[in-house]
Amino acid sequence: MPKLRVHNITISLDGYAVGHDQRLEYPLGEGFSEDMHAWMFAAMRDLAEGKTGIDVDHVARSEENIGATIMGRNMFGPQRGPWPDETWRGWWGENPPYHNDVFVHTHHLRPALVMEGGTTFHFTDEPVEKVLERAFEAAAGKDVRIGGGAATVQQYLRAGLIDELHFAIFPNLLGRGERLFDNLGDGVDGYRVAELVSSPAVTHAVLVRR
């Protein structure tokens, strides 16, 4: 049965998945340094070179059997509120790395955006259950991945819809921003820690539904 998965979400030791005041100059917010994602980019390079290791293994798993993607608007771009125009086409250039249908949660709709390489961004204000239904249909039997950000992951956790959640804890303190596990209420009750392992760079944790 297809699953809804989350992979490679890096958080600080005090739980922040993004810094404060996200904007064009700071896509992940102030305080969230590039060092926090260095483990993932290094693992991607190692994977391409055929190397193995704890970080590489987790990055490799994130690409397996993915047929569609879900993300929040804050991950798609820096704008807030109504779109000033439709010139913003994402952070990734004309050939984004997804190569599948991507469903973007937003209160401000715009037409679907067809990109090179098989990626199409669909902008939706539908409930998470309906978006997930559409994503599973687009995935055609494969799994669906939530790319981020924290608020979007929280919505699906609260609804008990995520089957597997992998995050990496980077050893620094941000102090403010947006925590991954805030605002969940009873949403965490349905999950257990299935894996906890450390590399020299980060500690990996995997949650699965009970």
What domains can you pick out in the chain, each with its CATH number? 4-80+93-209 (3.40.430.10)
Q: Is the pTM of this model over 0.85?
A: yes
For residues 131 and 103, the answer to whether their CB atoms sit within 8 Å is yes
Per-residue pLDDT of the chain (210 residues; tens, 9 = 90+): 999 999 999 999 999 998 887 777 777 778 777 889 999 999 999 999 999 999 999 999 999 999 999 999 999 998 889 998 999 999 999 999 999 999 999 999 999 999 999 999 999 999 999 999 999 999 999 999 999 999 999 999 999 999 999 999 999 999 999 999 998 988 889 899 999 999 999 999 999 998
